[in-house]
Amino acid sequence: MNVNMQEEQLLSAWSVLTSEAQDMIKRAVMVASQAHQGAVRRSGEPFVEHPLAVALIVVQMGLDAEVICAAILYDVVEDAGYSLLALHTQFGATVAHLVDAVTVPEAEVLPRYLLHTIASHKLLQAMETDRRAGWLKLADRLRNMRTLGDLRPDEQQMIALETLTFYVPLARHLEATEIERELETLAHDFLRETLMVTGSTL
């Protein structure tokens, strides 16, 4: 699915948006497309397709234009070197706050489990002022779990365990029952597969 088709899906799925909100989403798609130009995921898909897919999940959650834009833009800070100040200037304080809430801190020397702990604490703090940050992070994790097969078995196992220990309880806390069930099912499925590869059992 190309970027234009995903943009059309975003706007058609949220047809009640004001023209101003639709314009903001279009600008967000443009910024993300330029920031991720030429970048690809391990699956071979253009990198920008991931945040657009996350934004579609956000739409399905019934969230507003600010969260949709944050979903489209959060990876431009984390992976493309875009600044939060630039996002604040172009899209407002709320979008910048939501993006910051789900951005993993830069620390190449730290192990993944410690980064996850820091990022989780940061997210929970942000949720004290805006619970939508939690929904945005759930949408991102749900999309990552749906495409987890693109990663190595050891990475699948680590991410599945993270999902069970943090994201499933987060979904339960937000009363996102369907997301909780899907995340839990996907995590258990990947854990079974990876443990079978190593000859272990659940």
Residues 6+ apart with CB under 8 A from 95: 66, 69, 70, 73, 87, 88
Catalytic residues: 78-79
Q: What does the DSSP assignment read for 162-184?
A: HIIIIIHHHHHHTT-HHHHHHHH
Instruction: Give the predicted TM-score (pTM) of the model.
Output: 0.89
Q: For the chain, which residues make up each domain, given as ranges?
A: 3-106
Q: How many CB atoms within 10 Å of residue 93?
A: 11
Burial 159-172 (b: 16+ CB within 10 A, else e): bbebbbebbbebbe
Residue-level pLDDT, tens digit, the chain, 202 residues? 566 666 677 767 666 788 898 899 999 999 999 998 888 887 788 889 999 999 999 999 999 999 999 999 998 987 777 899 999 999 999 999 999 999 887 766 678 888 889 999 999 999 999 999 999 999 999 999 999 998 999 999 999 999 999 999 999 999 999 999 999 999 999 999 877 665 555 5
Residues 6 or more apart whose CB falls under 8 angstroms from that of 9 comprise: 56
CB 97 within 8 A of CB 131: no
Give residue 22's pLDDT: 87
Q: What is the pLDDT of residue 121?
A: 95
User: How far is residue 42's CA from residue 152's CA, in Å, rounded to a whole number?
Assistant: 10
CATH code of the region 3-106: 1.10.3210.10
